[in-house]
Amino acid sequence: MLFSSATFLFFYLPIFLIVYYCLPRRWHNAFLFGASLIFYAWGEGVVVAILLLSAGINYVAGSLIEHGNRRAGLWLSLVGSLSLLFYFKYSNFAMDTAQGLAKALGVSVADSMSLAHIALPIGISFYTFQGISYTLDIYWGRIRANKSFLDFGTYVAMFPHQIAGPIVRYADIAPELVERYVTIEKFGVGAERFIIGLGKKVLLANTFAKLADTIFNAPSDSYSTSTAWLGIIAYSLQIYFDFSGYSDMAIGLGKMVGFDFKENFNYPYIARSIQDFWRRWHISLSSWFRDYLYIPLGGNRGSKVRTYRNLLIVFFVTGLWHGASWNFIVWGLYHGVFQLAERAGLSKQLERVWAPLAHVYTLLVVLIGWVFFRAETLEDAIIYLQKMAGALPVPAQSTIPLAYPITYFLSQEVVGSLLLGFLFAMPVYHSFQQFWQRIQIRAGLPIIRYVMDMGYIIGLFGLFIMAVMYLAADTYNPFIYFRF
């Protein structure tokens, strides 16, 4: 079930909220846990058992650590959680890689050694990392183990953040699992955030998805170099508005039931370096790797060589976390190399140059990296990059016109969406909110502030209606996280 589906918006969510607020407060966690399992099982069926198994492993591991069996609990969490993740996400990839290596070395491989395709449970990467962070925090003495499996299961399975993040740490919401309150104002802020995220996903990300999918799925000789650049720009905007839109919806839903999830995006496309980009992009993931992998490896406390090694390990794992494909590994290491270059002195140069040049450098690095992220295979990525560089021109003897010249895509809707995408990828809305609040403070008369509030609410309602109209008129609503 998608947040941006009619089933969720007009059936699941209204029923959930009505029942949730009709129940006594002591039943809230039980209902949220059960409703989250229904949400997850809606499209996944019995695979919900994997989520429960992962939660059970980390709950027992946390209890073992709490009662003095520290190493046994830690190993149970790491081996149990990562074994589930490896089997469901990486076993096919590992087998295919091994067979490819064997064939390259001239070793014959029997067809019977191949594995049947293993379905990837949605959200397994997210709840695996949440479970591991829980047990590690207990092991390091940062938190106490939760004695209630119901409360812990609610944390793991909670549907707002379960399928697409952000990665929520137990320590951040532990007090709210015990006691939380929702005011009308907080509920309204959550509804506002949800509507904005829905608008990002439906009105912008889905439009860019159609454009990017058309170009990336077309034969390389059917479009021009400028079209190739348009395709990767469209994908860059798609993944940002899709991912940040889902994070906005998750944060909004969390507030509606009393939880305060941390921000996950901070306008990453205005970054002036790759280091800055990763401080702004998928913040919950990059901070997770910093705290639970980079620092335990030694961080930057040793020699430069050890620091560079640690960075490359982190970005290798970052790429692998996103998907079982060499494309993702190359994408992760690609970003790791630029992190190394900036640590080696490039970042100081970037601080001295004209700010727009630093922005251009960062955007070029990120755009090129997204090609590996979007392409199906490494070969496809290399061909697409060659097309972007103009190294794969259409044969001169061809008399057949290009199927996809750039003018083919530049409709009013696409141009308008691109302009809005560029605009809202910058902190324009944030500045608008600050401006709006200053006007309200200076307005003086309560009636004027009331009229302004009503105008803003009507605008949000209009955005919601527009998103619903787009959903009703177009069935194209891709779920990008199937690959993660």
Which run of H or E residues covers position 138? Answer: helix 124-139
Question: Which residue from 231, 235, 315, 317 is spatially nearest to 274, judged by alpha carbons?
Answer: 315
Burial class for 259, CB neighbours closer than 10 Å (0-12, 13-18, 19+): buried
The C-alpha angle with vertex 436 and arms to 430 and 439, in degrees rounded to 5, equals 145
Contacts of 51 (CB under 8 A, 6+ apart): 37, 40, 121, 123, 124, 127, 156, 157, 162
Higher pLDDT, 230 or 112: 230
Residue 437 lies in a domain: no
**C-alpha distances in angstroms, 27 versus 159, 267, 277, 390?**
17, 38, 42, 62
Residue 270 lies in a domain: yes
Q: Are 259 and 176 in contact (CB under 8 A)?
A: yes
Residue 1 lies in a domain: no
Which run of H or E residues covers position 134? Answer: helix 124-139
Same domain (yes/no): 78, 219: no
Same domain (yes/no): 115, 210: no
Following CA atoms 165, 171, 173, 174 in sequence, which dihedral angle do they give, to the nearest 10 degrees? 140
Q: What is the pLDDT of residue 473?
A: 82
Same domain (yes/no): 51, 130: yes
Same domain (yes/no): 230, 122: no
Structural domain ending residue among the three candidates 180, 214, 248:
180
Residue 444 lies in a domain: no
Same domain (yes/no): 203, 302: yes
Q: What is the pLDDT of residue 364?
A: 97
Same domain (yes/no): 236, 310: yes
Q: How confident is the model at residue 274 (pLDDT cuts 50, 70, 90)?
A: very high
What pLDDT, in 10s, does the model give residues 433-463? Answer: 778 777 777 766 677 777 777 888 899 999 9
Say which range, 27-36, 280-289, 475-484, has the weakest mean pLDDT. 475-484
Residue 308 lies in a domain: yes
Q: What is the pLDDT of residue 393?
A: 58
Domain count, the chain: 2
What pLDDT, in 10s, does the model give residues 362-418? Answer: 999 999 999 999 999 999 999 999 999 988 755 554 555 677 788 888 888 889 999
Note down the domain range covering 290: 187-394+404-424
Q: How confident is the model at residue 484 (pLDDT cuts 50, 70, 90)?
A: low
- Please count the CA atoms within 13 angstroms of the CA of 78 that sit on its side-chain side: 12
Q: What is the pLDDT of residue 421?
A: 94
Residue 432 lies in a domain: no
* 479 pLDDT more than 80: no
Q: What is the pLDDT of residue 164?
A: 78
Same domain (yes/no): 89, 159: yes
Question: Which residue from 479, 469, 468 is spatially nearest to 195, judged by alpha carbons?
Answer: 468
Q: What is the pLDDT of residue 72?
A: 96
Q: How far apart are CA 474 and CA 198, in angstroms?
A: 15
What pLDDT, in 10s, does the model give residues 135-160? Answer: 999 999 999 999 999 999 999 999 99
Q: How far apart are CA 34 and CA 16, in angstroms?
A: 11
Same domain (yes/no): 199, 168: no
Question: Which residue from 407, 398, 402 is spatially nearest to 220, judged by alpha carbons?
Answer: 402
Question: Which residue from 167, 124, 125, 136 is spatially nearest to 287, judged by alpha carbons?
Answer: 167
Structural domain ending residue among the three candidates 180, 201, 229:
180
Q: How confident is the model at residue 220 (pLDDT cuts 50, 70, 90)?
A: confident
Place of tokens 């089933």: 7
State the average pLDDT for the chain. Answer: 89
* 482 pLDDT more than 70: no
Same domain (yes/no): 150, 212: no
Q: How far apart are CA 319 and CA 330, in angstroms?
A: 7
- SS3 state at 309: helix
Residue 456 lies in a domain: no
Q: What is the pLDDT of residue 60?
A: 97
- The mean per-residue pLDDT over the stretch 337-359 comes to 93
**C-alpha distances in angstroms, 288 versus 13, 121, 133?**
30, 21, 8
Alpha-carbon radius of gyration of the chain: 24
Same domain (yes/no): 124, 264: no
Same domain (yes/no): 68, 157: yes
The C-alpha angle with vertex 240 and arms to 239 and 243, in degrees rounded to 5, equals 75
One-letter amino acid for residue 462 of the chain: G
* 186 pLDDT more than 70: yes
The answer to whether residue 67 is catalytic is no
Contacts of 451 (CB under 8 A, 6+ apart): none
Which residue is catalytic, options 28, 282, 322, 335? Answer: 322
Residue 484 lies in a domain: no
* 176 pLDDT more than 70: yes
Q: How far apart are CA 37 and CA 157, in angstroms?
A: 7
Same domain (yes/no): 229, 346: yes
